[in-house]
Chains A and B, each alone.
Chain A
Amino acid sequence: MRKNLNVIAAYTIMMGLIILVGIFQSWNIALSIFNLCLISAVMTMGANIQWGYAGLINFGIMGYTALGGLAAVLISVDPVQEAWSVGGSNILLSLLLIIGMVLAVRYVLKKYEKSKVRTYIIASIIIAGIIIIRFVSEPGIEAIEEVDPAKTGFLGGFGLPIIFSWIVGALFAGGLAFVIGKVALGLRADYLAIATLLISEIVIAIIKHEDWLTRGVKNVIGLKRPAPYEVNLQQTDWFINLVEKFNLSKLNLITDLSERQAALNQFVIEGSSIFVKLCYSGLFLIVVIILLILTQKALYSPWGRMMRAIRDNEEAANAMGKNVVKQHLLIFVLGSAIVGIAGAMLVTQDGLFTPGSYRPMRYTFLIWVMVIVGGSGNNFGAILGGFVVWFLWIESAPIGLYLVNLTTAGLADTHFLKVHLIESVPYFRFLMMGIGLLLIMRYRPKGILPEKIEIK
Chain B
Amino acid sequence: MDFINAIVLLLNYIFVPALAYGSQLALGAIFVTLIYGILRFANFATGDMMSFGTMVTILFTWYLQSLGVSLGFLPTALIAIPFAIMFMVGYMLLIDKFVFKYYRVSKSPPVQLAMVSIGVMFVTQAVVRIIIGPSDRRFFDGEKFLIKAGEFKEMTGLNEGLAIKSTQVITIVVTLILVSTLFWFLNKTKTGKSMRAYSDNEDLALLSGIDPKKIVTITWIIAGILATIGGALYGLDKSFKPFTYFNNMLPIFAAAIVGGIGNPFGAFLGGYVIAFSEILLTYAYKKFFMYLLPESLEPNTLVQLLSTDYKFAVSFSILVIVLLYRPSGIFKGKIL
Contact = CB atoms under 8 A, between A and B. Distances in A.
Interface stretch (B15-23, B145-153, B167-175, B319-327): B319-327
Contacts of A430: 122-123, 125-126, 129
Interface of A: 57, 183-184, 187-191, 193-195, 197-199, 201-202, 205-206, 208-209, 361, 365, 368-369, 372, 421, 423-424, 427-431, 433-435, 437-438, 441-442, 445
Contacts of A361: 125, 246
27 contacts: A183-B320, A187-B323, A187-B327, A189-B111, A190-B41, A190-B111, A190-B114, A195-B323, A197-B250, A198-B254, A199-B316, A201-B250, A201-B313, A202-B313, A202-B316, A205-B309, A205-B313, A209-B309, A365-B121, A368-B118, A423-B133, A424-B133, A427-B125, A430-B129, A433-B122, A434-B123, A437-B122
B255 to A, nearest CB: 12
Given A190-B41, A205-B313, A427 B324 contact: no
Contacts of B119: 434-435, 437-438, 441
Contacts of B313: 201-202, 205-206
A428 B316 contact: no
Contacts of A190: 41-42, 110-111, 114
Given A202-B317, A205-B309, A191 B134 contact: no
A434 B95 CA distance: 13
A438 to B, nearest CB: 4
Contacts of A427: 125-126, 129-130, 134
Contact of B253 (A198, A199, A369, A372): A198
A184 B320 CA distance: 8
B120 interface: yes
Contacts of B307: 209
B199 to A, nearest CB: 16
Interface residues of B, number: 43
Contacts of B42: 190-191, 193-194
B327 A437 contact: no
Contacts of A421: 130
A196 to B, nearest CB: 10
B14 interface: no
A191 B123 contact: no
A57 B109 CA distance: 13
B63 interface: no
Given A199-B316, A209-B307, A369-B122, 14 more contacts: A194-B253, A195-B320, A198-B250, A201-B316, A202-B312, A365-B121, A369-B118, A423-B133, A424-B133, A427-B130, A431-B122, A431-B130, A434-B122, A435-B123
Contacts of B184: none
Contact of B115 (A197, A208, A435, A441): A441
